Amino acid sequence: MARRHEEELKKAEEEMRAMKDEERKKVEEQRRIKKEREEREKLTLVEREQKNERRAAAIKYLDDATKGFNTLASAEYEFPDGHFLLRCIQPEAWKSDEEKAQPGTVLAATTILLGGQKILLHWGLRKGRRGGWSAAPEAAWPPGTMRMKDGKAVQTEMQPLEGGMAKALEIKGLPEGTSGVLAVLHLPEAEQHMQWLGKPGGGDMYVEVAETRSSLGLAKHVSKVAQEMAGWIVEREMEYGSWTLMHRYNYGSELVYSTCGSDEYAWAMMYVWMRYSQLRVLDWQRSYNTQPRQLSHAQMTFVTNLAKKYRELGSLQWEIRLAMSCVGRGGSAGNGQQIRDDILVILRHDRSWGHGSMMEDWHQKLHNNTNPDDVIICEALLVFWRGNGNIQGYRDHLNGNGVTRERMAAYQQPVRAEPTFNGHIKDTMIWELEKYGRLLRSVHLGTDLNESYDRVRGYLDGDTRAKIDGYYYARNSNHPLQDQLWAAANSRQGLMKQLKGGVNDDQARDLLFLDIALDADVRRVVESGKAYFDGSIASTLSALRATALALSLSEGDQETATQLRNIDSELDKVSQKIAHTGESHEVGLRCAAAMTNAKNILTSIIDRFHRSMDSISKGLGRAFNAETEIVDIFVEEAIRGSPAFVLSMLLRKAEPEVRRIAHLGPYSVISPFHEETTGPVYTYAHLKECQGATVPKGSVIIADVCGGDEDVPDRVGYVIIGSTVDVLSHVAVRARNEHHGLIACLDSDEMSRIKALKGSTCKAKLEGDNFHIEVVEHSQESSEALKQAGKVMKRVKSKGLITPPSGDLKASRMLSDKNLPEKASGSLVSRVSSGNLPDFESIMKRTPSMSIIPEKQLVASWAIRPAAYTTELVGSKSLNLQRLLALEISDWIHIPTSVTIPNGALKKVLNDEANAELKKKFKELRTTANRSESGDVSFCPELRKCIMDLSLPDGLAEALRGVLDELGCEDIDGSLDGTWKAVKGVWASLWNERAHLARRKLGLTVEEVDMAVLCQKVVDADYAFVIHTHNPITGDRDEIYAEVVVGLGETLVGNAPGQAMGFTVKKGEKLQPEIKSFPSKAFALKGGKYIFRSDSNAEDLEGFAGAGLHDSIPIEENHKVDIDYANEKIVNEETFRTTLMTGIARIGMEVEEVMGGFPQDIEGCYKDGEFYVVQARPQV
């Protein structure tokens, strides 16, 4: 027993030792593996660093070789052992389209070295859009080139660059007509599988060598990728003998991975192509029989690829989902085969359905080429059977959905007969056709809600499934519209959350189809008008919130998505305020501001549709021989079918109620004019279209869109725009100067009514806020239009809500009431001798002739401080700042450090020897301008370019360094180039089209207009404001009108959509601001560092078109910040808002007093509790 025990102990000890040995070996093995992995990773890291270092050397070679040239096209391909880069360059001197159509020089570089092995570039030429390989002529061969036996290619050995980190070669002298170079790499000494390297993923490497215009007439802004893609698509659709939906979807899949990338226009091309297919513009079957399983497989592969790209490309999701909405889901081969099998089951129910019957014809079609028409045919058959053989219902359903008898007869397997009714199988046929219809919809339609939901129900998370069930319940129980909208929006939020989670590509595809189906179902609910909607303000705001949130989900990573969520947040705050305090004028104004913001967001979405798709839809439509009507309304219908349209419809529903609460009529007066006028009515899509036109006195111009900076023709009586702009915008200032009315019509129906008066002679008059227009004599066109006025399509009006540059300088103390003066007046102690100050009345009375500077070089310094300012050297912006400094305005109002580049400096630069050729060209162009016809602005871009091409004289370079030093710049050398570019940009704006037209209108020449440049440091403002010390709307000299925006003033005085916060204040001891509008600009601008302002003498001349004709340019581009008004102090904190408005009013009163009582146009800003005045000028 004892021995046995000892043996067991011994055995146990041996096992323990064995286990320890095993564990030790295991640990040692793990250490060895870890060490090897670390060494491998270290080696990989070293190799990656070396690979990147070699790539940097190759890029340096290309960049050095590109100096003095423009890059036409480039391509880069990555391989495990290195990179291959191609670049085509053309001389900078090539400017014309003819020159750019000539082949450039091709640079090729590779970092694939493989121990110094020989690397040959195997290359050939492509000629024309579809050309294959052809050998280059010997004149284009680099040294050492050999012709290949096939006669279609040549090979050239690539030579090592200095340092041995890359190899390269240069190809030049390519023959005319060459569109590109095709290439592969040949490594004859490498292992067999490495000897030929083409484009990763398949195909040839390629670089374009000449700028070619699309034969489809696509606009220049359409990317080269999309233009090339269009050619390939048109070739297949219009030139291939055999082509079907299956081929289309297979080729679509190929383009998704080989071509589209992250190119916005390529994805627009994909959508337009698929939409034309959906509209039956393109053949669904041409000389080829496709089995249903083949089609369904191609279809499913295509949409799965689209869904995968949807998850990868956030900023392009809006286009990809549009493309998916045009294509059915498809299915596995089994789904396709089931289409063939199940029709045979149906046929067995009536043996009389033999050859020549409708059912047999349809069976043959389904066997050979099923397509989305079959869904319509199945639905029509259900109408027929449910109606006991209702043949007219059958015909109406087919025709109503575009499946005409002629179309059915034209199928490869035609369907000519009509169905026959057999009463005893009615119930069976209805059951069979309903089941068969579900099968057809599952393959051909991706946006059927029931089918889409059933497909994903099994793997939806419980919360999302409950939300979708809630939507079904709300819709089927006819809950109020806002409840249905919220149920759908919440459902879609759940789907988007799951789409971003751990689902596979197939699940992502089906989730996305369900999202599209939900969105489409909501659109049908809203468009039908059947859902209960009481129209109350609470219901209205709730519906708008839900719709804005839903649209944000469709916008992906576009900036509009954040802006729409901010709309939801702001309307939520307003709703809470209504719930606590009830309706009020202030609440109405906040609602109106949020709606204006929403309209502007819709405008940016609409503009994106047009920019991306307009040219493409027209080019492809013409190439596809589409009907003109389809092509003309393509983009408009795309917008109407998009998620944005629901929001536009609800905004229209909401507008009357919101305007009622805000006490707003259909018209909003921007610039009043109270005289009665008589003249013809002109209508335009965009106000800029009428610039330079000649119209009779008293004309009424009506435009849907106003950008805020247009210059309207002389002698106009009233301008009516379909959007609002800021009262202090350029177009508003000019309206007051030129004595015509500027009025926004914010009621879509009223806008349609007055636009129908096009061509008629009308009397027009403004009385208070009411605009009256009465027909004196109808035109034939207006008579017809008035008949159709009730049928005019409701459109979202483009809201370019705008205004010019402001806001910036240095900070000090915090804002509080105790820091503000009790009143605007007070003792003013001069800081400098009054002898240095120009007389203010002389500034106001300046005429252009006083400022003409001879061609001789200016004797003044390149840059001057305020003490040296005179009326001959600077404009009124600089002079007024000098005056404010000299007369010691209250110390709580801060004035920026300013330096000015004086009048005449541009001429001095032109006279510099280095700019002799440019001066000659400039004079020739200026002569052309002086002799041009009224309204001709064709020479303006070239004149601006002349100025932008000027070289920097040494003296001015040193002066600009001094300017930057004066403004506190820490990196003077690094900022010099940007400063010089900004200064030239200000000078070049003398030749802005609007500036030229305004000079012509007043009879001025450009020689009579001086342009100084006021240089200032930018204060990164919390808020910026513009003040008019005499109310420009009412003309009341005792009332201030001011506008405030979040961030820098460029959104207030530039072309930023939306309204500022507008308010009035009666001058006096007790200031009580009255809000006229809440802010609705979607974004603020921040940053900028230093700004260079135009300071021309012309802007302050009586009768001139007003400010904003010339540019003010920051040294660094401002960046956008989305505004969430729900959390913005100026909107939500009444005490802060009142203190801010009171401070702004006191600035206006004090500056006006300092300036001798003359009404002032003041720009300023507020930062960290401090007020700043950036510029002041006489109010025109």
How much is the pLDDT for 1029? 95
Question: HSE (CB half, 13 Å, CA atoms) of 445?
Answer: 18
Give φ, ψ of 490 to 5 degrees: -65, -40
> Do 1168 and 853 form a contact (C-beta atoms < 8 A)?
no
How much is the pLDDT for 319? 96
Structure tokens at 717: 């009586």
CA atoms of 527 and 534, how far apart (whole Å): 16
Q: Are strands 285-286 and 243-244 parallel, antiparallel or unpaired?
A: antiparallel
pLDDT single digits (tens) 568-602: 999 999 999 888 888 888 888 999 899 888 888 88
Give φ, ψ of 212 to 5 degrees: -120, 140
How much is the pLDDT for 124? 94
Structure tokens at 164: 């041995």
> Which residues neighbour 82 within 8 Å (Cβ) at sequence distance 6 or greater?
51, 54, 55, 110, 111, 112, 113
Q: Are strands 1170-1178 and 1160-1167 parallel, antiparallel or unpaired?
A: antiparallel
Q: Amino acid identity, residue 168?
A: A
CA atoms of 421 and 685, how far apart (whole Å): 55
Rounded to 5 degrees, what angle do the CA atoms 102, 220, 628 make?
120
Other CB atoms within 10 A of residue 71 CB: 14
How much is the pLDDT for 778? 80
Structure tokens at 478: 């006819």
CA atoms of 358 and 420, how far apart (whole Å): 8
CA atoms of 908 and 953, how far apart (whole Å): 9
> Do 1142 and 820 form a contact (C-beta atoms < 8 A)?
yes
CA atoms of 282 and 296, how far apart (whole Å): 18
> Do 109 and 121 form a contact (C-beta atoms < 8 A)?
no
> Do 731 and 740 form a contact (C-beta atoms < 8 A)?
no
CA atoms of 1085 and 1120, how far apart (whole Å): 5
> Do 717 and 739 form a contact (C-beta atoms < 8 A)?
no
Closest listed residue to residue 130, CA positions, set 255, 273, 239: 239
CA atoms of 671 and 1033, how far apart (whole Å): 6
Give φ, ψ of 1113 to 5 degrees: -130, 125
How much is the pLDDT for 1040? 95
CA atoms of 1056 and 469, how far apart (whole Å): 42
Going from the first residue of the chain to its last (1180 residues), give the mean pLDDT of each consecutive group of 10, the final group possibly shorter: 71 75 76 70 72 91 90 88 92 75 92 86 83 88 92 93 92 90 92 86 83 76 91 89 91 92 95 93 86 86 94 94 89 66 85 89 84 89 94 93 87 89 92 88 77 90 94 93 96 94 90 93 86 87 95 95 94 91 88 87 88 94 90 87 86 82 81 86 91 90 86 90 71 76 85 91 81 83 49 29 25 34 30 36 40 48 88 86 84 90 90 90 88 86 93 91 88 90 94 85 79 91 94 88 92 77 91 91 87 82 60 87 91 93 95 90 93 86
How much is the pLDDT for 41? 61
pTM of structure = 0.68
Q: Amino acid identity, residue 1023?
A: Y
DSSP string, 68-87: TEEEEEEEEEEETTEEEEEE
How much is the pLDDT for 860? 76
Q: Is 1169 exposed, middle or buried (0-12, 13-18, 19+ CB in 10 A)?
A: middle
Q: Are strands 667-671 and 741-745 parallel, antiparallel or unpaired?
A: antiparallel
Instruction: Match 């729409």 to its residue by tokens.
Output: 564
> Do 724 and 744 form a contact (C-beta atoms < 8 A)?
yes
> Do 350 and 422 form a contact (C-beta atoms < 8 A)?
yes
How much is the pLDDT for 818? 38
Q: Residue 505: helix, strand or coil by DSSP?
A: helix
CA atoms of 734 and 833, how far apart (whole Å): 37
Structure tokens at 1127: 């959390």
Instruction: Match 């016809």 to its residue by tokens.
Output: 933
pLDDT single digits (tens) 309-334: 999 999 999 999 999 998 988 765 55
How much is the pLDDT for 814? 32
How much is the pLDDT for 942? 92
Structure tokens at 181: 């170079």
CA atoms of 1159 and 1102, how far apart (whole Å): 14
Q: Residue 478: helix, strand or coil by DSSP?
A: coil
Q: Residue 395: helix, strand or coil by DSSP?
A: helix
> Do 1121 and 1056 form a contact (C-beta atoms < 8 A)?
no
Q: How far is CA 1094 from CA 332, 420, 985, 1006, 1119, in A?
A: 66, 81, 9, 15, 21
Q: Amino acid identity, residue 635?
A: V
CA atoms of 24 and 827, how far apart (whole Å): 93
Strands of the 667-671 sheet, one edge to the other: 667-671, 741-745, 716-721, 699-705, 677-686, 761-767, 770-777
> Which residues neighbour 110 within 8 Å (Cβ) at sequence distance 6 or greater?
58, 82, 83, 84, 85, 119, 158, 166, 167, 168, 185
Q: Residue 608: helix, strand or coil by DSSP?
A: helix
Other CB atoms within 10 A of residue 401 CB: 15
**Which residues partner with 512 through β-bridges?**
none
Q: Residue 679: helix, strand or coil by DSSP?
A: strand
How much is the pLDDT for 1175? 86
CA atoms of 1013 and 1019, how far apart (whole Å): 18
Q: Amino acid identity, residue 148?
A: M
> Do 1098 and 1104 form a contact (C-beta atoms < 8 A)?
yes
**Which residues partner with 1045 through β-bridges?**
1024
> Which residues neighbour 253 within 8 Å (Cβ) at sequence distance 6 or greater?
298, 301, 302, 305
Q: Is the dihedral of CA 655, 660, 663, 669 positive or negative?
A: positive
Q: Looking at the chain, how many residues does it have?
A: 1180
Rounded CA Rg of the chain: 36
